[in-house]
Each structure stands twice: as C-alpha cells, then as structure tokens.
C-alpha cells in the first residue's frame, strides 16, 4: 500500500453574495486537485519543480520563488524576466514538460453558485468551496479505495475564518459521511482525521502546481459546456496537457463524473 496526498486550490471567487447570472467569472468556482504518491512527490516531483524555478527565476535562498499564477500573469517580482519572449517561451515549454512527465491524478470540480444548494450534503454552513471539496473527496477516496491505497488532503489557506469552516466541514464528512457515502468509506481511505492547510508562503511544490493548473482546468470545463469561447494560447496548452491526467472510471475510462465533475 502506498500513501498519496491531494493538493487542492481554487480558481474563481468562493463567495455567494451578489453573484449575477451573466458574471461567469464570479458565478462559477473551480476547485482543482492533483494527487501524488507521497514518496514520488518527495523524491522526484518536488526536486523537479524546484529545479524549474532555479533555472528560470534564479536561486534566492533567503526569499524562495513561489509560483503563483496571478504574479506570473502580471510579470511582477522574479517573474519580470518573462517579459522577454524567449525566456517566457522557454519557461512555458519546461512547465508543459513537467505536466507531461509528472505522475499525478487530477480532479476538477466546477460549481455553478447560482444553481447548487447552499445546504448541499446537508451541511447547514456549507459554501461552494466546501461543496467542491467534499465532491472531490468522494472521487479521491473512491479511487484510493479501488486501488487499495490511502491518502490525505492539503489545501491552501484562505483566511482564518474560512480555514476553520473548512476544517469543520472535513471533520463532519470524516465522522458522518455524506448522503452518498458512509463515514466508513472515508475513514478507510483517508489517513488523517484533519485536513491539512498551509499558506502560499510555505513554498509547497504541490500547492504551487495546483495553483497554476486550476484556471486552465476550470476554463476547459467551461468551454466544454459552452459557457465561454474556446481557450487559446498557453491556457489551452496546459488544459490539453492535463487531459490524460484526470481520474477516470476503470471499466471504460470515463472522465465525466470521475475526474471532471459539474455541480449545478
């Protein structure tokens, strides 16, 4: 039996107040997760992503480079070098290579905040982020159970209040299960009673990877459903590279409902 870790990050606004139907950027929340076998992550993936950062952004020991999509997009700080087209092309090529070569299992949950119930799963204080995570947990634990493995979950910190609510929601599922799965289903596969939460500055490669993949994964799902125009450029290339990484049904390789889940 090998142990896995699911790294989770969001793309979009997790609040529900004031959301309007035409505001697709606020209406839809994407929750992305990538699961790595623990030893592989420590021995292969983590060194690979640190090497990527060192090659393209230098090696600053006192202030390590943290990969963050918004800062990369704005070309601020260490990412200012990407204003040079040749350096940007080289980084993009190496990052796509990292996606293709790395061994991980991906999950994306797209939530329509106007369509899903705020009392989904029977949790009175549930929010779209919680709904997405718990939906992802069902698929993650389903895969772990099928493959006779176990694992834990590490999410990026979002704020003291939000983190406390998320921990409470996770505990509720671990202890009581959901409408679809009993508590034993989660306790058999989750190696921890608590969800792990770390801030961006903790410099955790898996969380940085999830941060860069969450937006392309969400946009591809929205594109597939006709909510937005087809993606282009580097976003399209990342989304394309992710296609064969998604969790899928063993019997027929079906991704819908297993690696890509839509909630409305």
pLDDT at residue 216, as a whole number:
98
For the chain, the domain total comes to 1
Whole-number Cα distances in Å, 37 to 51, 102, 121:
20, 11, 29
pLDDT in tens, 67-125: 999 999 999 999 999 999 999 999 999 999 999 999 999 999 999 888 775 555 555 44
- What DSSP element (H or E) covers 107? strand 105-112
Residue 258, classed as helix, strand or coil, is coil
Where residue 221 sits, what CATH number does that domain have? 3.30.420
Helices (H), the chain: 24-27, 38-40, 46-57, 69-74, 85-101, 128-146, 160-176, 183-189, 205-224, 233-242
pLDDT in tens, 193-244: 999 999 988 999 999 999 999 999 999 999 999 999 999 999 999 999 999 9
Point out the least confidently predicted range of 23-27, 56-60, 174-178: 23-27
- Domain residues for the domain of 47 are 3-263
pLDDT in tens, 112-149: 888 775 555 555 445 788 888 889 999 999 999 999 99
* pLDDT at 192 > cutoff 80: yes
pTM summary value = 0.94
């Amino acid at each position: 039996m090998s142990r896995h870790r699911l790294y989770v990050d969001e793309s979009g606004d997790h609040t529900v107040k004031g959301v309007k139907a035409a505001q697709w950027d606020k209406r839809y929340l994407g929750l992305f997760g990538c699961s790595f076998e623990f030893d592989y992550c420590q021995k292969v993936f983590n060194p690979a992503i640190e090497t990527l950062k060192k090659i393209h952004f230098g090696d600053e020991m006192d202030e390590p480079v943290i990969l963050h999509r918004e800062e990369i997009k704005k070309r601020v700080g260490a990412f200012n070098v990407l204003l040079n087209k040749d350096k940007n092309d080289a980084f993009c090529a190496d990052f796509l290579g990292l996606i293709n070569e790395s061994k991980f299992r991906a999950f994306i949950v797209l939530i329509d905040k106007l369509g899903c119930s705020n009392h989904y799963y029977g949790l009175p204080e549930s929010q779209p982020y919680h709904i997405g995570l718990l939906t992802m947990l069902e698929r993650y634990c389903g895969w772990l159970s099928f493959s006779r493995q176990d694992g834990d979950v590490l999410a990026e910190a979002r704020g003291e209040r939000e983190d406390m609510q998320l921990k409470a929601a996770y505990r509720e599922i671990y202890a009581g299960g959901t409408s679809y799965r009993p508590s034993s289903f989660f306790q058999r596969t989750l190696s921890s009673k608590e969800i792990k939460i770390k801030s961006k500055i903790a410099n955790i490669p898996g969380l940085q990877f999830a941060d860069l993949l969450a937006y392309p994964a969400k946009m591809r799902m929205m594109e597939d459903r006709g909510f937005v125009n087809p993606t282009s450029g580097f976003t399209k290339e990342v989304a394309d590279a992710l296609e064969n990484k998604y969790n899928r049904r063993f019997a027929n390789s079906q991704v819908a409902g297993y690696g890509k889940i839509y909630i409305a």
